[in-house]
Amino acid sequence: MAFRRALINTVLKRSQSDLRLHCRSIGGGSVAAPPVLPAFGYQPKPYTGPLADEVLQKRKKFLGSSLFYFYQKPVNIVEGKMQYLFDENGKRYLDAFAGIVTVSCGHCHPEILNAIFEQSKLLQHATTIYLHHAIADFAEALASKMPGDLKVVYFVNSGSEANELAMLMARLYSGNLGMISLRNAYHGGSSGTIGLTALNTWKYSIPEGEIHHVINPDPYRGAFGSDASAYARDLKDHIDYGTSGKVAGFISETIQGVGGAVELAPGYLKLVYDIVRNAGGVCIADEVQTGFGRTGGHYWGFETQGVIPDIVTMAKGIGNGLPLGAVVTTPEIANVLAQKTQFNTFGGNPVCSAGGLAVLRVLDKEKRQQHCADVGSHLIERLRALQQKHDIIGDVRGRGLMVGVELVTDRKEKTPAKAETLVLFENLRELGILIGKGGLHGNVFRIKPPMCFTKDDADFIVDALDYSMSKL
């Protein structure tokens, strides 16, 4: 971590020096003014709590050193409102990462807060050993959003928990052990899901069990481009030569999140689902980041591939910041858990259920899926126009408000622009944008804001990227 910070310092100092030389080289002429945040009619409350340096020192002393933070001088975020965040000094930032794709409806959305507050005043916790309407109401509403026979809901507290439970279901139902996931995938950091994850930056050297990683159907960097059939043949070969011929299941994101907003080759899941089911396995869709209309054209990411999974996992946006996740499956698969006692102490507690139900209602009421389609198409169109101007942009990809911008130093070789990405990352923060970063080499900007993000916000991000890239 110390080496990484030192490297960032060196890169940033070199960038600043180059920028001064650039300004001198143009004879002191006027440089385009930096873009300005769109107007927003909200004034944050005065902050009187601990400042960034004190908070950072406490973190270092009392929290694990594995916790990382963004930026050389970490931002002390003390308040949020819809798509904006405020630091200790009242500075406003456009949140282009939504708490790592978690804030769906907007920070401190009043209708969701009200549902949480009202339930908290009545009952916070009881567990499912007693009846309470909130969990049943939420399950009913969630099941109504699912296609086919996906009607049985299990509530958990996170995406990792959801994927752990889905993997357990797959193994029990199929009677097999082997799980298949994609290279470049992220499915969690628990001791079980860390095996499904296929990015070395997130993996420890521990036993991973019967888990196989097949070639990622990445249209930009993949071995077979956009040829879904070739990637599907690789998976079939892996089952034939790397397993007993039978597997428990296959899990994938539709647009890989941590891996850098990589959308799977068109038609891939339809081919692969048939292969996996013929090998005795079930098909799991990880919708932790792509669900709830974020992709715009569809409510669920898997619908973009024209498939219906056997199990769907979700978290993050389902709670707009609440610790909430869910697994939805068919009655037939769900029945395998009845062999023993399956229980989750906090899963579906009254407060989270009330908040989760409010999220679903807000998304429908405010037509956020259509909003994501409209704003997302505008954003992607503008980013692709920017790509024509700046060679550092190797790829613009995604759907709705699940967008990735991959930066390269050579478009032909697709060499990751690691140092340049770090410089731009810091520059965007200075301009008032908190953006995500992903991919194995950290060279992909992840633009995945709260779903109330506007076209003016999209224009601001593109203008800020243009401004910053022009100075590299």
Of 24, 96, 69, 55, nearest to 451 by C-alpha is: 96
Whole-prediction pTM: 0.93
What secondary structure, in 3-state letters, does 263-286 show? ECCCCHHHHHHHHHHHCCCEEEEE
Question: Helix H segments across 110-192?
Answer: 110-122, 133-143, 159-174
CA torsion angle 100 106 108 112 (round to 10):
-110
Instruction: Tokens for 306, please give them.
Output: 């024209």
Render each residue's pLDDT in the chain as its tens digit; 472 residues: 444 455 455 545 554 444 333 332 322 333 489 999 999 999 999 999 999 999 999 999 999 999 999 999 999 999 999 999 999 999 999 999 999 999 999 999 999 999 999 999 999 999 999 999 999 999 999 999 999 999 999 999 999 999 999 999 999 999 999 999 999 999 999 999 999 999 999 999 999 989 999 999 999 999 999 999 999 999 999 999 999 999 999 999 999 999 999 999 999 999 999 999 999 999 999 999 999 999 999 999 999 999 999 999 999 999 999 999 999 999 999 999 999 999 999 999 999 999 999 999 999 999 999 999 999 999 999 999 999 999 999 999 999 999 999 999 999 999 999 999 999 999 999 999 999 999 999 999 999 999 999 999 999 999 999 999 999 9
398: left (phi over 0), alpha (psi -120 to 50) or beta: left
Contact in structure between 288 and 130 (CB atoms under 8 Å): no
3 state DSSP class of 432: coil
- Residue 26 has, within 13 A of its CA and on its CB side, a CA count of 11
Q: Taking the CA atoms of the chain, what radius of gyration do you get in angstroms? A: 23
Pairwise CA distance, residues 249 & 181, whole Å? 9
